[in-house]
Structure 1
Amino acid sequence: MALNGAETKACEAAASAPMLDQVQTWAAVNSGSRNLAGLRTMAGLLADAFSALPGALELVPPDPVNVVDADGSVRAIEHGDHLLLTVRPEAPVQLLFTGHYDTVFGADHSFQTLRWLEDSRLNGPGTADMKGGLALMLAALKAVETTPAAAQLGYQVLIDSDEEVGSPSSAALIARSARGKAAAFTYEPALPDGTLAGARAGSGNFSLVVSGRSAHAGRNPEDGRNAVLAAADLALRLEKAIGPRLSINPAKIDGGGPNNVVPDRAILRINFRPATPEDEARARAHLDSAVAMVAAEREVNIHVHGGFGRPPKPLDPAAERLFGLVRDCGADLGLDVAWKATGGVCDGNNIAAQGVPVVDTMGARGGAIHSAEEFLIPESLPERAKLSTLAILRLAERGRP
């Protein structure tokens, strides 16, 4: 269908927003997930920018999070505040827009500066993932606010500080914000050709702390209980659960010491990627079984720390309808919108777990994310801002996907 006058005007307004300037300003700020000073600076810049929208804006403190250190001890770890904007909560149509402002590049990482590549792509930390997405999200919402349809539309904008480390301090806030929404858009980058992520696997991260018994490796090794061997045994047993819909990656074993001492402490770090909720349940059952068997057979204690922070995100009928709406909007703008399944995870997994349809790659086109070759395709900023604007307006009109 052709765009009507209000849609055309709003799309043009979104496309003309100073998105590239914003991206360059924001990407110049190091906001690595553990760089609290940089996160504070970035949160302030975003609060200033998003205050151009109506509604109540707040910086929500992170939930407490614990991590297991290499010696098996548990300690608290800090995260940045999360930006939450609530607009017209009593409006008949309620949507959710999410993103993150942390990057994988810490304050001590060598990748800190922006440069233009020969093919006019912008190389820089977070340009695609996802400061470009935040800029075009803001442009689209500001354009929507100029239309009569805005009166029918309420929404929340949630931009968290910890997505790149699994959103441990924002997961509960994401869940609360998603409940009751008709649909959601998350602004992770699309692939360079514009392809979106469709179904996503889930993700679970665990630290399995093994406590054995030390002994002299030559004089009385039989009195010891080797924690490193137990951790390795666990990894091999868990590997047996790998299948076409469940990947398991034993990533690291911490522990051990001098060669003449039977090690009494080890920590196995492991990641699960289940394709469906049923696969997640199978993975958890297999983990519990392996832990019980190794603990009994090797006479060690094993503490399981962690969990499935990203539920699987299959494409259900509501999600398929939302993808269809975005595809149709793209067609009306002259864009070919397609999607495919991926093993990657993001906050969209957590939104879908609340029964809310979500398209989670509504951001800019770009690539090589999580590397020093990360790049943004600048012409995708106005292109994708128009796509979001049109999709939001049509959701406001229809009330649901």
Structure 2
Amino acid sequence: MFSHTDKFLKDFQTIVNIDSSSDHLPGIEQVARFFQKRFSDIGFTAKILFQGDAKVPCLQAVFGPGNGDNPKYDLMFLGHMDTVFPFGEVEKRQFSIQGDKALGPGVCDMKGGLLVVLHVLETLKKEGALDKMSICVAFNGDEETGSKTSKEWIQSVAEKSRRVFVFEPCRPGYKMVSQRKGGGWFQVSVTGKEAHAGADPEKGINAVVELAHQIIAIDALNDSATGTSAQVTVVTGGDKVNIIPNKAVASVDVRIEKLEEKQRVETFFNTLCERRVLPGSKICVQGKIDRPPLEITPQSRALLDIIFLEGKKMGIDVSSIATGGCSDGNFTAALGTPTIDGMGLVGANSHRQDEYVELASIPIMVNLISNVCKALI
């Protein structure tokens, strides 16, 4: 039974007060080395992997029979060490406790979740339960930028795992995440022709006007019945007020609830060039749906039932929700590995300066996940 909240808070202060934005690799490595030592101390084989050309630090820690030539893990614990906050954010607002909440850069998304993993495994080791398990911990350093360098590594571990627990924040009210939308980004670029806006506008082809037509068409992709959303989020075009613009660009955030929507959405964007409105304009589209949706399956439902039961034994009403945000759990679920997300500390306001976690959730989540792991032995 975990009861060392004071130790958890000391660890919390240590890692939250490390700037580890996705583009600050030394900070991510510093976080990885903190966990490497602690996992090694309880018998894990822990190493830092430097992924891709950018050498993004990722931590892999393995324990049990799965630590061999042909590993098969009972559980994969998945999380990310990078945050969205730029270097220097810690100096502005270090880890702090205000009332019943902890605050600081990445406290909710998701350094609190990383510490849940650590303290769960330390608890299981102390109780003697860890020796009956085969576990792989995978913490990457580029989740906030799409996990481009770590995706294949994450998938390779998930393929060897029977179950995946993702330690993104638990939602207020002890709500796990059982479903997530998939998604991707598209960039629509229009080329027109410059002309004097006053003297001879008829000689131009207005790229902004063409893009406006396409934006209206993109907006029609939104379909609440299928759970698909397509939001034009950034638009640029034109240079000077008296020149017909020859360039215009729009960025589009797309989310899908069902995997079958992937083809419909990608076909739509790939054929935009055939549906231009202004003669002579040209349309170029880049992008794709690169995160499949995390959909609930009979296997993940059975895993949720175990979590709910263990929560009930503790007097906690645990439930699950669906959310529009993506995580690395989208990748593992797409492989068919039962995946439950939102298993970190209870918190909210991720990516905001007022993000927080509930202090009361520290012992509850550590004990809940520990009990779930023992129930799976």
Partner of 2:288: 307
Higher mean C-alpha deviation, range 316-325 or range 37-46 = 37-46
Aligned to 2:192: 212
Deviates more, 1:143-152 or 1:312-321: 143-152
Q: Match of 2:275, as an amino acid? A: M
Q: Deviations over 1:190-231 (max 9, x none)?
A: 122211222211121122233333333344444433333333
* Contact kept in structure 2, 1:205 and 1:272, CA below 8 Å: yes
**Per-residue deviation at 1:111?**
5.3
Q: CA–CA distance in 2 between the matches of 1:216 and 1:317?
A: 63
Distance 2:138 2:279 in 1: 47
TM-superposed CA distance for 1:270, in Å, is 0.4
* Cα deviations by residue, 1:32-79 (Å, 9 ceiling, x for unpaired): 222334323323323333332434323222335xxxxxxxxxxxxx57
Query: Is the 8 Å Cα contact of residues 186 and 362 (structure 1) preserved in structure 2?
Result: yes
1:184–1:224 Cα change, 3 Å: same
Inter-partner Cα distance in structure 2 for 1:84 and 1:213:
53
1:200 aligned residue (151, 161, 180): 180
Show the 5 A alignment for 1:140-219: 140-146=120-126, 149-219=129-199
The aligned residue for residue 267 of structure 1 is 249
| CA positional deviation for 1:29 | 1.4
1:116 aligns with 2:97: yes
Partner of 2:221: 241
- The aligned counterpart of 1:70 is none
Q: What is the DSSP-based 3-state SS (H/G/I as helix, E as strand, rest coil) of the residue aligned with 2:119?
A: helix
> Within 5 Å, which residues of 2 pair with 1:347-386?
347-386=328-367
| Pairs within 5 Å for 1:1-400 | 12-13=1-2, 18-63=7-52, 80-87=56-63, 88-89=65-66, 90=68, 93-107=73-87, 109=89, 112-117=93-98, 119-146=99-126, 149-244=129-224, 245-294=227-276, 297-395=278-376, 397=377
| TM-score calculated relative to the size of structure 1 | 0.84
| Structure 1 CA distance for aligned equivalents of residues 106 and 307 of structure 2 | 25
Provide the C-alpha distance between the structure 2 equivalents of 1:349 and 1:192, rounded to a whole number of angstroms: 21
Letter in 1 for 2:22: S
Give the Cα–Cα distance (whole angstroms) in 2 for the partners of residues 17 and 140 of structure 1: 15
**Cα deviations by residue, 1:310-365 (Å, 9 ceiling, x for unpaired):** 21112111111111111111122222111122212211111111111111111011
CA RMSD of aligned residues (A): 2.4
Do 1:168 and 1:309's aligned partners in 2 also have CA atoms closer than 8 Å? no
SS state at 1:81 partner: strand
Rounded to whole Å, the distance in 1 between the matches of 2:73 and 2:153 is 20
Change (3 A) 1:209 1:44: farther
Q: Which residue of 2 aligns with 1:73?
A: none
Alpha-carbon distance in structure 1 between the residues aligned to 2:95 and 2:207: 46
Read off the aligned partner of 1:189 and give its amino acid letter: P
**Amino-acid identity (%):** 28
Change (3 A) 1:298 1:54: farther
* Structure 2: distance between partners of 1:177 and 1:226: 50
Shift of the 223–81 alpha-carbon distance from structure 1 to 2, 3 Å rule, reads farther
Tell me if the contact between 2:269 and 2:285 (Cα under 8 Å) persists in the aligned partners.
Answer: no
Q: Name the stretch that deviates more: 336-345 or 90-99.
A: 90-99
Letter of the structure 2 residue corresponding to residue 255 of structure 1: G
Q: Which runs of 5+ in 1 are unaligned?
A: 1-11, 65-77
Residue 254 of structure 2: SS of its match in structure 1? strand
Checking the alignment, whether the CA contact within 8 Å between 1:14 and 1:389 is kept in structure 2 is no
Q: Tell me by how many angstroms 1:20 deviates.
A: 1.3
Correspondence for 1:7: none
**Distance change >3 Å, CA 45–CA 149, structure 1 → 2:** closer
SS of 2:41's equivalent in the other structure is coil
- Give the C-alpha shift of residue 151 in structure 1: 4.2
TM-score (norm 2): 0.89
Three-state SS of the structure 1 residue aligned to 2:74 is strand
1:246-294 alpha-carbon deviations (Å, 9 max, x no partner) = 1110001123211233323322110111111112222222222334312
- Measure, in 1, the Cα distance between the counterparts of 2:96 and 2:157: 37
Cα distance in structure 2, aligned partners of 1:152 and 1:209? 56
1:130-157 Cα deviation digits (max 9, x unpaired): 1111111111122323455544422221
One-letter amino acid matched to 1:374: E
Structure 2 CA distance for partners of 1:93 and 1:171, relative to 1, 3 Å: closer
